[in-house]
Amino acid sequence: MKFYLISLGCPKNLTNSEEFSARLLAKGHKMVFAPEKADEIIINTCGFIASAVKEAKDEIRTALELKQKGIVKKVAVTGCLVERFKEQVAQEFPQLDTVFSIAAQDAVETVLKQKGTVLDPLPSSLYLPKYKMSLTAPHTAYLKIADGCNNRCAYCTIPFIRGRYRSKPMNDVLREARGMIENGVREISLIAQDTTSYGMDLYGKPNLLGLLEKLLKLKGLGRLRIMYGYPHRVTREIARLMAGTDKIFHYIDIPLQHIADPVLKRMNRHCGGAQIRRTLDMLKTEVPDISLRTNFIVGFPGETQKDFNELKKFVRQYEFDNMGVFEYFREKGTAAYAMKQIPAAVKHQRAAELVEVQSRVIDKINKRLAGTVLEAIADGPDFGRTYKDAPDIDGQVTFTRPVTPGTIFKARVAEAQGYERVLEPLN
């Protein structure tokens, strides 16, 4: 069977695609990179928010049109959309050949031979995948250290899509990382719904620090990148470990969502504005060149103009290197669904205002960057990223001369205008 893969959503979903695609390849199937060359299209969906659901359904409709025209024989759908809506997916799209849950991906070669819906329950544990391939550039990879979430934020569908928090045993993480290094990976991004809770279910308390310490001992390790931390679990010990090594990019992604205490409380976030500020101040003190990435939600139910003004002031003050701005999406099944909603026009306006505030922050950051030397990684001969930029979600830079892809090197910032930056590689 020749299959064409469409993988939607976050890096965590991409790792699932890598695992079941590798399983199909190991069983003798072939991956193709154009749908017209495939026997079957497999869509690994996201279902986190309304826009992701729409994107997934649009992809399903497009694939089914190809099937109707006889270009492909079958269409299968898996991933978070299936996990969230179960049998509804097949009911809405009866032309689909197979609809299967995330857990059923572990037997994908058998499942795809079936007609209908296969809904295996989520596993109680997370282990080293039996098969794994890379769907990223050869020199960079995502390493999922945990899945699921126990935080129960009022806006979030993840707990009933991905289940409770499950850490991958430390030895399995190390084996997976070792395999990546042996295959030429230079940048390993650690991912989970909450990386800073790593180990809480296995070892009685969060132990991201211990995992990092062991990863740093791996022979041939290039760089580690820490994604998706929770504010009050980013400890001083983690910061000091980061500051004391060049093997961890001085970068951390901490989705903060808001800063105003009334909003954070309604969101059911487990730390307030004061704790968030203490964490960020600590990081800036312990790791002076730290690059901070975050996300904010505007228009959450009950967000007042005062709350939003506090958020804008906070963004100006803390100067995040990269920032995502999202309008609140009302999602059925979440605690916030029943709350009094803010008008769409207000959400649009606040999102635009916060994006503008961040644009001015980037202008200030660019003035300081001009002429400085940063560590960079080449994604292609003439483009790549600085240590401040995670793959896929942050910006790219261009180089003044060719560099071997996968190389990690020092470079001087020659130009910085908005989100466009030009670096001069140094010898």
What is the pLDDT at residue 198?
Answer: 98
Q: What is the mean pLDDT of residues 168-172?
A: 98
Q: What is the mean pLDDT of residues 324-333?
A: 95
Helical ranges in 253-304 per DSSP H: 261-266, 273-286
Q: Which CATH architecture has domain 2-118?
A: 3-Layer(aba) Sandwich (3.40)
pLDDT tens by residue, 357-387: 999 999 999 999 999 999 999 999 999 999 9
Segment (H or E) for 225: strand 223-226
- Percent of the chain that is helix, strand, coil (3-state, to 5): 40, 20, 40
| The pLDDT of residue 249 is above 80 | yes
CATH fold for the domain made of 373-425: OB fold (Dihydrolipoamide Acetyltransferase, E2P) (2.40.50)
What is the pLDDT at residue 215?
Answer: 98
Whole-number percent of the chain with pLDDT over 70? 100
| The pLDDT of residue 20 is above 90 | yes
Residue that the structure tokens 């800063």 belong to: 259
Q: What is the mean pLDDT of residues 231-249?
A: 97
Encode burial over 35-58: b for 16+ CB neighbours within 10 A, e otherwise.
Answer: beebebbbbbbbbbbeebbebbbe
Q: Within 10 A of 274 (CB to CB), how many other CB atoms are there?
A: 10
Whole-number percent of the chain with pLDDT over 90? 97
Give the CA dihedral 254, 258, 264, 266, nearest 10 degrees.
-120
What is the pLDDT at residue 419?
Answer: 86
Q: Residue 427 — pLDDT band, cuts 50, 70, 90?
A: confident
Q: Does domain 140-366 have CATH number 3.80.30.20?
A: yes
Numbers of helices and strands, H then E, in the chain:
14, 19
Calculate the average pLDDT of the chain: 96
Helical ranges in 267-388 per DSSP H: 273-286, 305-318, 344-369
Distance (Å, whole) CA 343 – CA 337: 14
pLDDT tens by residue, 179-220: 999 999 999 999 999 999 999 999 999 999 999 999 999 999
Among 62-66, 239-243, 300-304, 417-421, the minimum mean pLDDT is found in: 417-421
pTM above 0.75, yes or no: yes
The domain spans of the chain are 2-118, 140-366, 373-425
| The pLDDT of residue 120 is above 80 | yes
